Amino acid sequence: MAKNLLKGSEREPMPGAKSTGKADPTERLEVTVLLRRSNADAFRQRVSKLSSRTEAREHLTRGEFDRQFGASNADIAAVRQFAAAHGISVVQERAGRRSVVLSGTVEQFNAAFDVELERYEYPVGSYRGRVGAIYLPDELSNIVDGVLGLDDRPAARAHFRDRSAHRKTTAHAAAASATSYTPLQIASFYNFPSGTGKGECVGIIELGGGEKHADLKTYFGGLGISPSPKVTVVSVDHAKNHPTGSVDGPDGEVMLDIEVVGSIAPEAHIAVYFAPNTSAGFLDAITTAIHDTTNSPSVISISWGGAESTWTQQALAAYDSAFQAAATLGITVCVASGDNGSSDGGTGDNVDFPASSPHALACGGTSIQTSGNKITGETVWNDGTSGGAGGGGVSKVFAVPAWQEGLSATKTTGGAAPLTMRGVPDVSGDADPETGWDVRVDGSNAVFGGTSAVAPLWAGLIARINAANTEAGVAAVGLINPALYGKPSVLNDITKGNNGDFEATKGWDACTGLGSPDGTAIATLLA
């Protein structure tokens, strides 16, 4: 039987990782097979129209989307037959999400995809992985776009900073100007329109940790929000709501996200999708939220990511395709741009993914100065290599979208280079731990910063706007990037500071994007 290389599936070991031998052949795992999209040309045309349009919103229902652009029955049947030939079980068939989930042993998947799964150890853990490409038989070579789940290395990191830990690595320990704010105060600083998000659902993606109802009740009660916002936990790929008891662990991310969204949109329903921190788990969480007909989120907040260079090409394409699907359904996806400045924790300049997807709203970081109930100054958040800085730069993967054409990225060394690839971020908001957010995690009060706070800030704003629009008989705003770039005056332009290699300038820049929100002006634009 002929074997065909699956384009974009090539893998290398993680930095510092060494093989400790072959993976246990009897170990069981689940693998997501991603199929080609039906009517792909029509889908691309629809997405292109949404990406260039700033007025009419022609969104599909989830049922309409599944019928027009899901995987075909014939393609699903081909994967089913392939699995049976290798003794592999079919766990789920999801036509709308164009995926089939398979369950089998290491030995079976090694044979099915012509790979050699091994165990690897690296400085902070271990994982099951592979080197090289995945191969497909002839009958699948033209219908499979991706195979995710063979490798279970951590796919992403959370983008928040605990002020107490942050001070141990920076010169801010005795900062007299340090302060903190509730999400309601920050929403007021940014002139958010009135509203509670009633009738909307905000989806939150989490790759670990958990929430504690008692902490949420205490937190929201302290803000005068009673009853607490409705929170529904959705298990993806067997992951659960599992608090770890560590304030600076993944619990911190989960609670920050819920508390920011729940404060700003207290009458919105919050659906939290818990998934394993793997490329397959992350994608499955995103597609579960997008195609969720039970909770039906109209906005999704993602505060996890990793440098573009750490992802396979098949994963980059799969996630971006999922965000394209979100756009056609009228779902806004807000993604944190990272907390490691222009390097994103790597060598040279890197941008964080999935924030770098052109179909996501990439959310960068600022530091605010306030007096009374007003912002008196706002700069790029940058506390140095150890302290963190807002992620931003120029993608090495995604072409420049239509709404960024003609813009330039200014380097700190001088000179502005016209964008030929996607620029990150699009927008920004307060992310400096020294001007941070009041949170409650695992029974303790804390102050957090990081772009992890900015994604749910924007998600809460969109929930308020969508609720008002729904009441007025107007569709959800969906992909808002073209509208914002068409009228950047609805944002507060940030012109001071840098995130390492990129400098803030008048207009869009690769530190803070178009700037921080003037919520009421944005609501008027998107009404």
Q: What is the DSSP string of 97-149?
A: TTEEEEEEEHHHHHHHHT---EEEEETTEEEEE--B--EEEHHHHTTEEEEES
Threshold 0.85, pTM exceeds: yes
Domain count for the chain: 2
How far is 428 from 470, CA to CA, in rounded Å?
26
Give the pLDDT of residue 172: 53
Q: How many CB atoms neighbour CB 116 within 10 A?
A: 12
How far is 150 from 112, CA to CA, in rounded Å?
11
Q: Are residues 228 and 208 in the same domain?
A: yes
Tokens of 521: 């002006």
How far is 441 from 457, CA to CA, in rounded Å?
18
Catalytic residue check, 257: yes
C-alpha angle with apex 38: 34 to 41, nearest 5 degrees?
115
Among residues 192, 199, 160, 217, which one has the least CA distance to residue 448? 160
Orientation of helix 40-52 relative to helix 62-69, angle to 10°: 130
CA distances from 518 to 476, 489, 525 (A): 19, 9, 11
Domain boundary among 119, 148, 177: 148
Q: Are residues 126 and 178 in the same domain?
A: no
Q: Are residues 129 and 169 in the same domain?
A: no
Give the pLDDT of residue 56: 60
How far is 337 from 428, CA to CA, in rounded Å?
9
Q: Are residues 166 and 102 in the same domain?
A: no
DSSP notation for 344-403? TTSSS---EETTTSTTSEEEEEEEEEEETTEEEEEEE-B-HHHH-B---EEEEEEEPPGG
Q: Does residue 187 form part of some domain?
A: yes
How far is 434 from 179, CA to CA, in rounded Å?
6
Q: Does residue 474 form part of some domain?
A: yes
Q: Are residues 86 and 190 in the same domain?
A: no
Residue reference for tokens 């770098």? 356
Q: Does residue 129 form part of some domain?
A: yes
Give the pLDDT of residue 466: 98
Burial 447-484 (b: 16+ CB within 10 A, else e): bbbbbbbbbbbbbbbbbbbbbbbeeeeeebbbbbbbbb
Q: Does residue 496 form part of some domain?
A: yes
Q: Does residue 427 form part of some domain?
A: yes
Q: Which residues contact 437 (CB under 8 A, 6 or more apart)?
A: 180, 181, 182, 183, 186, 256, 260, 430, 447, 448, 449, 453
Mean pLDDT of residues grouped by 10 in the chain (527 residues)? 88 96 98 98 94 74 97 98 98 97 98 98 96 97 97 97 73 65 98 98 98 97 97 97 92 98 98 98 98 98 98 98 97 98 95 98 98 96 92 98 97 94 98 97 96 98 97 94 97 98 98 98 96
User: What amino acid is encoded at 364 in this protein?
Assistant: G
Q: Are residues 304 and 323 in the same domain?
A: yes
Domain boundary among 124, 148, 172: 148
Q: How many CB atoms neighbour CB 131 within 10 A?
A: 15
Domain boundary among 101, 123, 148: 148
Q: Are residues 503 and 368 in the same domain?
A: yes
Give the pLDDT of residue 273: 98
Q: Does residue 204 form part of some domain?
A: yes
How far is 37 from 322, CA to CA, in rounded Å?
11
Q: Are residues 422 and 455 in the same domain?
A: yes
How far is 401 from 423, CA to CA, in rounded Å?
9
How far is 144 from 102, CA to CA, in rounded Å?
14
Among residues 217, 216, 225, 11, which one has the least CA distance to residue 118? 11
How far is 432 from 105, CA to CA, in rounded Å?
46
β-partners of residue 334 are 301, 361
Find the catalytic residue in 206, 257, 339, 493.
257
Q: Does residue 53 form part of some domain?
A: no
> 193: helix, coil or strand?
coil
Catalytic residue check, 188: no
Would you give the DSSP letter of residue 202? Answer: E
Q: Are residues 171 and 217 in the same domain?
A: yes
Domain of 357, CATH number, reads: 3.40.50.200
C-alpha angle with apex 392: 388 to 397, nearest 5 degrees?
130
Would you give the DSSP letter of residue 342? Answer: G
Domain that holds residue 232: 157-526
> 506: helix, coil or strand?
coil
Residue reference for tokens 């036509």? 95
Q: Which residues contact 385 (CB under 8 A, 6 or more apart)?
A: 341
CB 343 within 8 A of CB 369: no
C-alpha angle with apex 334: 157 to 275, nearest 5 degrees?
45
Q: Are residues 260 and 164 in the same domain?
A: yes
Q: Are residues 212 and 327 in the same domain?
A: yes
CB 117 within 8 A of CB 128: yes
Find the catalytic residue in 200, 253, 259, 320.
253
Q: Does residue 395 form part of some domain?
A: yes
Find the catalytic residue in 452, 493, 509, 516.
452
Q: Are residues 516 and 406 in the same domain?
A: yes
Catalytic residue check, 253: yes
